[in-house]
Structure 1
Amino acid sequence: MIEARGLTKRFGSKLAVNQVSFTVLPGQVTGFLGPNGAGKSTTMRMILGLDRPTAGHVTVNGRHYSRLAAPLREVGALLDAKSVHGGRSAHHHLLCLAQSNGIPRKRVDEVLDMVGLQAVARKPTRGFSLGMGQRLGIAAALLGDPAVLMFDEPVNGLDPEGIHWIRGLMRKLAAEGRTVFVSSHLMSEMAITADHLVVIGQGRILADTDMQDFIDRNATSHVLVRSPQMSELGPLMAARGWRVEMVADHSLKVFGARAAEIGDLAADHGMRLHELATVQPSLEEAFMQLTGDVVEYHAGLPEPPPPPTPLGDAPAPPGNGDLP
């Protein structure tokens, strides 16, 4: 278990982490999400004793990391897969780590086999691809068979097979009762892998909740409607008090109604429907909604299309109401 209480870190005048408190429990995968510059990496470094907190504290299984006699046996971490001496082989790199923590030599071959690097175990790591480096970093995290595991962007550089593998590995580790803490920008993977979410923005905790609750609180489902009689159907739906928005392809987003209700309304008025689908909100939508105001860096983008507009303000579809 990882416990942070009032964790704060300043770098000069920059407040990187501000009074952060959260608990990462065993038996589940906890996703650690936030925009660039939100404080994720600094928080993970403080957990591992690589940065000293300005205030507050964080413990692993009730003790500060610096007080762990054999840290690799209790905490496995992947923060920077490139922090390996390029002249060493994967086997030699892991063997040095094992010897420094009293881990049996045979464990080196076991983890190399687990991550699929046995064939290149004796080759210098300077020739490793990004994905191979990630696998070696994961092997190092698993080396001491620890109860607590931390991964920062674990799928970075992995091919589809590797992504599938690390996803299954994290789920397996959690099912064994271990504490698994994962930072990632890949929302599609977090949606599949994580059970619980801790979301940080501008150094503050924005959410600490389970996956479905996070999505439900920060995004809204809607019904996508497409019909050759949109100009007549739209006002009928709006008259029911449903919020109706036209999107660029002349379909409609309807909020506050169930698909069956819209289907019944169209049938009652003899109108045809070409599409009627309930669209559930995604983790990415919920994340963007929550963190939109705390993003530190905004990239310059091409001019976006006009935003969805309420039906009453939207231009009529082409022709006499029929789609082209």
Structure 2
Amino acid sequence: MIELDGLTKRFGSKIAVDHLSCQVRPGIVTGFLGPNGAGKSTTMRMMLDLDNPTSGTVRIDGKHYRELQEPLKYIGALLDAKAMHGGRSAYNNLLCLAQSNRIPSSRVDEVLDMVGLSAVAKKKSKGFSLGMGQRLGIASALLGDPEILMFDEPVNGLDPEGIHWIRNLMKALASEGRTIFVSSHLMSEMALTADHLIVIGQGKLLADTSMADFIHENSRSYARLRSPQQERLRDVLHQEGFTVVETAGGVLEIDGATTEELGELAARHQLVLHELSSQRASLEEAFMQMTAGSVEYHAHSERDPAAEPPVVGAGWGEGWNSPGGTDRTDRTDRKGA
């Protein structure tokens, strides 16, 4: 278990992490989410004593990381896959870590095989692709067969097979009772992997809840109905006290109702349904809703398309090369966050 109690980190006048308290429990995959600049990386670095907190504490199974005699046997972490020594082979990179933590050298071969790098074990890591480097970083986290594992953007650079593999690996390790803590900006992947979420914004805790509860509490869930007897269906729904929203294509949306009760209601009134489905927002939509007020870095377009009305009556391409012609191509500011 990882326990954070009042964890705070200041860089001058900037508060990167603000009195953060939470627990990362064993037996589940815990996702760590937040906008860019929310303090996720700083928090993970403080967990490993790479940064000292201004105040508050982090404990790994009741101890500070610096108090662990052979830390790789307690906690394995992937924070930066590029941290490996580029002049060493994949095998020797892991061997150095193994020897420093009294881990048998046979374990090096095991984890290289586990991550699919056995064929390039003797090659220098500086020649590795982004995905291969990521696999080597994952191997280093697994090296001590620890009970706690931390991953920061573990699928970065991995191909679809690699993404599927790391997802299943994290789930399998959690099912063994291990503590799995993973940070990622890929919401679709996090939705498939995590059981529990810890969400922060501007260094503060915003949510510490299950995946299902997070989506339910931060998004709209509704039932969707479509029928050739639309008017009669709408009248029946109104009589039963439901609020109905009509959308394009004659689709009716009803909040606060289950598909079961709506199906039974339609059956009682002998109404034909062409569609009856439950609609729930994605993790990405729920995340955007919760963190809307905590986003520090916003991207903006260089020009507002609404500020300049379209030219009416001009044919496609007219005036593109004339002396007074205007380049109307939209451009997007892609400044990194």
TM range (shorter): 0.7 to 0.9
Q: Which segment is superposed worse, 81-90 or 267-276?
A: 267-276
**1:58 aligned counterpart, secondary structure:** strand
CA distance in 1, matches of 2:223, 2:147: 44
**Structure 1 residue 249: Cα displacement:** 5.5
Q: For 1:244-323, list aligned pairs within 5 A.
A: 244-247=244-247, 251-263=251-263, 273-300=273-300
CA distance in 2, matches of 1:260, 1:24: 36
Using the size of structure 2 for normalisation, the TM-score is 0.81
1:154 to 2:176 alignment: no
**Structure 1 residue 40: Cα displacement:** 0.9
Q: Which segment is superposed worse, 232-241 or 165-174?
A: 232-241
**Structure 1 residue 271: Cα displacement:** 6.1
Q: C-alpha offsets along residues 100-138 of structure 1, whole Å, 9 cap, x if unaligned?
A: 222211111111011010011111212212111111000
Q: Which amino acid aligns with 1:47?
A: M
Q: Relative to structure 1, is the Cα distance of residues 110 and 287 closer, same or farther in structure 2, using a 3 angstrom cutoff?
A: same
Task: Indicate the residue corresponding to 1:2 in structure 2.
Answer: 2
**1:27 aligned counterpart, secondary structure:** coil
Q: C-alpha offsets along residues 1-56 of structure 1, whole Å, 9 cap, x if unaligned?
A: 11110000111111111000011122221111112211111100100111111111
Task: Indicate the residue corresponding to 2:19 in structure 1.
Answer: 19
Task: Indicate the residue corresponding to 2:187 in structure 1.
Answer: 187
Task: Indicate the residue corresponding to 1:218 in structure 2.
Answer: 218
Task: Indicate the residue corresponding to 2:326 in structure 1.
Answer: none
CA distance in 2, matches of 1:248, 1:87: 61
Q: Relative to structure 1, is the Cα distance of residues 157 and 245 closer, same or farther in structure 2, using a 3 angstrom cutoff?
A: farther
**1:192 aligned counterpart, secondary structure:** helix
Q: Which segment is superposed worse, 133-142 or 257-266?
A: 257-266
Q: Which amino acid aligns with 1:6?
A: G
Q: Which amino acid aligns with 1:83?
A: A
**1:208 aligned counterpart, secondary structure:** strand
CA distance in 1, matches of 2:231, 2:300: 36
Task: Indicate the residue corresponding to 1:104 in structure 2.
Answer: 104
CA distance in 2, matches of 1:178, 1:233: 51
Q: Relative to structure 1, is the Cα distance of residues 102 and 265 closer, same or farther in structure 2, using a 3 angstrom cutoff?
A: closer
Task: Indicate the residue corresponding to 2:329 in structure 1.
Answer: none
Q: Which segment is superposed worse, 288-297 or 249-258?
A: 249-258
CA distance in 1, matches of 2:276, 2:205: 38
Q: Relative to structure 1, is the Cα distance of residues 221 and 110 closer, same or farther in structure 2, using a 3 angstrom cutoff?
A: same
Q: Which amino acid aligns with 1:213?
A: D
CA distance in 2, matches of 1:158, 1:88: 22
Task: Indicate the residue corresponding to 1:66 in structure 2.
Answer: 66
Q: Relative to structure 1, is the Cα distance of residues 143 and 221 closer, same or farther in structure 2, using a 3 angstrom cutoff?
A: same
Q: Count the aligned residue pairs.
A: 304
CA distance in 2, matches of 1:146, 1:73: 5
**Structure 1 residue 250: Cα displacement:** 5.3
Using the size of structure 1 for normalisation, the TM-score is 0.84
Q: Which amino acid aligns with 2:57?
A: H
**Structure 1 residue 158: Cα displacement:** 1.3
CA distance in 1, matches of 2:297, 2:237: 40
CA distance in 1, matches of 2:191, 2:185: 11
Quick one: percent identity of the two aligned structures?
A: 65
Task: Indicate the residue corresponding to 1:29 in structure 2.
Answer: 29
Task: Indicate the residue corresponding to 1:173 in structure 2.
Answer: 173
Q: Relative to structure 1, is the Cα distance of residues 55 and 124 closer, same or farther in structure 2, using a 3 angstrom cutoff?
A: same
Q: Relative to structure 1, is the Cα distance of residues 73 and 267 closer, same or farther in structure 2, using a 3 angstrom cutoff?
A: closer
Q: Which segment is superposed worse, 183-192 or 249-258?
A: 249-258
Q: For 1:49-88, list aligned pairs within 5 A.
A: 49-88=49-88
**Structure 1 residue 300: Cα displacement:** 3.6
Q: C-alpha offsets along residues 244-288 of structure 1, whole Å, 9 cap, x if unaligned?
A: 334456533221233355456667777654322112343333322
Task: Indicate the residue corresponding to 1:209 in structure 2.
Answer: 209
Unaligned stretches of 5+ residues in structure 1: 305-324
Q: C-alpha offsets along residues 69-115 of structure 1, whole Å, 9 cap, x if unaligned?
A: 22212110000111222222111111111122222111111110110
Unaligned stretches of 5+ residues in structure 2: 307-337
CA distance in 2, matches of 1:40, 1:105: 33
Task: Indicate the residue corresponding to 1:136 in structure 2.
Answer: 136
Structure number, greater radius of gyration = 2
**2:177 aligned counterpart, secondary structure:** coil
Task: Indicate the residue corresponding to 1:307 in structure 2.
Answer: none
Q: C-alpha offsets along residues 212-238 of structure 1, whole Å, 9 cap, x if unaligned?
A: 232332233211223456567556645
1:45 to 2:51 alignment: no
**2:123 aligned counterpart, secondary structure:** coil
Q: Which amino acid aligns with 1:72?
A: L
Q: Relative to structure 1, is the Cα distance of residues 97 and 264 closer, same or farther in structure 2, using a 3 angstrom cutoff?
A: closer
